[in-house]
Structure 1
Amino acid sequence: MNNLMTTVFAFAVASVTAFSTGAMAQEVKGNAKAGHAKVDMCIGCHGIAGYQTAFPEVHKVPKISGQGAAYISSALNAYKTGARKHPSMRGIAESLTDQDIADVAAYYAADGAVQGATVPEQPSKQPNEMVAALLQKGACVSCHGVNFAKPIDPSYPKIAGQHADYLFVALKSYKVEGTTGLVGRANGVMGPIAKQFSNAELKAIASYLQSLDGDLKTVPESRFR
């Protein structure tokens, strides 16, 4: 039954992907060089290795260098519309034009890339039995790829190697319903998935994902070295 549900879920995601990919072809094309001149408001958090924020609880800000450009654009637009609730990020996103978002996304997608470097096709570390069952229950590979670093759609995030405390906060935010408040993420796919799990289970998943090799990194800006 679990395998059947995973297959059905993957088919449903693929159907949505076909639509989103077509829509993305109409989007603004980003320029990484132009983006480099537009990230001053980003580097104060994302350009410092290990930097922590206290909202909505203490956790490291996510690694975004090496993240997919389409996902960064999608996330910024979600903050801009309020689909993702975060006062600081919404304020920043609202100040950006569509071209700004595309340029910033292109910059971070290329930031810190090492020519010839590759990520293992399979997870660099196998999960224990409990975490393996949780990952299967959530059908996580159906969107994020077998190695959690090659999502099936570019608007989905790479999550291998991401900070566990950030992943935990992000996953919990998908469980928050309603349009009021300062925390929450409206997402028709991730909402139902996250609500299947207890916070302890989400923390176990996040801890495993952090242990994996991936493309994500924090590239310190020279002014912070």
Structure 2
Amino acid sequence: MNKLLTTIFAVAVSCVTVSSLAQEVKGDAKAGETKNAMCIGCHGIKGYQASFPEIYKVPMISGQGGKYIVAALNAYKKGERKHPTMRSIAESLNDQDIADLAAYYSTHGAAAGAELPAKPAKEPSADVQALLNKANCASCHGANFSKPVDPAYPKIAGQHSDYLFVALKAYKTDNNPKVGRGNAIMAGMAKQYTNAELKLLANYLASVDGELKVIPQSKFR
């Protein structure tokens, strides 16, 4: 009986693995470049600010990890990330579109041979280091905050501080139909901090050298 159950379990795991591999869509960066018209109006302008749910610079996505971009867009599409504009954009994209955009932005502006140091050159203050240690941020986002242990996690080094602050607060938001992010792990981490502490973390992470950037578009389509 035990042997039969073991065999059934192995077959089930095998089927799930094959299914997940079959569902993985390969992105084409060149195709993504032709599909980014809805992206460049915000993410392709240096200093561009969003006004919902408060004023902040839109995140830099050039140089961001491809699998994270896929995960984020799907989260907006499913409503796990509650942002009306981003949800409407994500809902207009199919899986191939999302994969192509992720492939494009993950390589957009990447410098060949460029390598960040293993740890940030700028040391945090003792207070900030204590906050980083509290949730062990480096355990997921990497010691330099630009090499996450899982490619579905974001690079956060050098990201705009005001965006990081808004994003972190969103994980603390519950039962709001228009604002919030449904990620149990990040919610548990973010809720350990006051908003003042989150702002300190965001300011430090923004000051760290990273691979994220805004690359102005030569034209709008």
TM-score scaled by length of structure 2: 0.89
Q: Which amino acid aligns with 1:213?
A: D
1:39 maps to which of 24, 36, 42? 36
Q: CA deviation at 1:148?
A: 0.2
Q: Deviations over 1:140-164 (max 9, x none)?
A: 0110000000000000000000000
1:28 maps to which of 3, 13, 25? 25
Question: Which structure 2 segments of 5+ residues have no match?
Answer: 1-15
1:218 maps to which of 211, 214, 221? 214
Matches within 5 A, 1:67-82: 67-82=64-79
Aligned to 1:63: 60
1:185 matched to 2:181: yes
Q: Which amino acid aligns with 1:81?
A: K
Distance 1:127 1:24, change over 3 A: farther
SS at match of 2:152: coil
1:198 matched to 2:194: yes
Q: Which amino acid aligns with 1:210?
A: A
Q: Which amino acid aligns with 2:208?
A: L
**Structure-2 separation of matches of 1:124 and 1:154:** 23
State the percentage of identical aligned residues.
63
SS at match of 1:66: coil
Q: CA deviation at 1:25?
A: 7.5
Matches within 5 A, 1:116-155: 116-155=113-152
Q: Which amino acid aligns with 1:29?
A: K
**Structure-1 separation of matches of 2:22 and 2:216:** 32
Give structure 1 regions of 4+ aligned residues with deviation exceeding 4 angstroms. Answer: 22-26
Q: CA deviation at 1:124?
A: 2.0
Q: CA deviation at 1:211?
A: 0.4
SS at match of 2:219: helix
1:48 maps to which of 24, 36, 45? 45
1:167 matched to 2:164: yes
Distance 1:142 1:107, change over 3 A: same
Computing the radius of gyration from Cα coordinates, the structure with the larger value is 2
Q: CA deviation at 1:223?
A: 2.1
**Structure-1 separation of matches of 2:159 and 2:87:** 22
Number of equivalent positions: 204
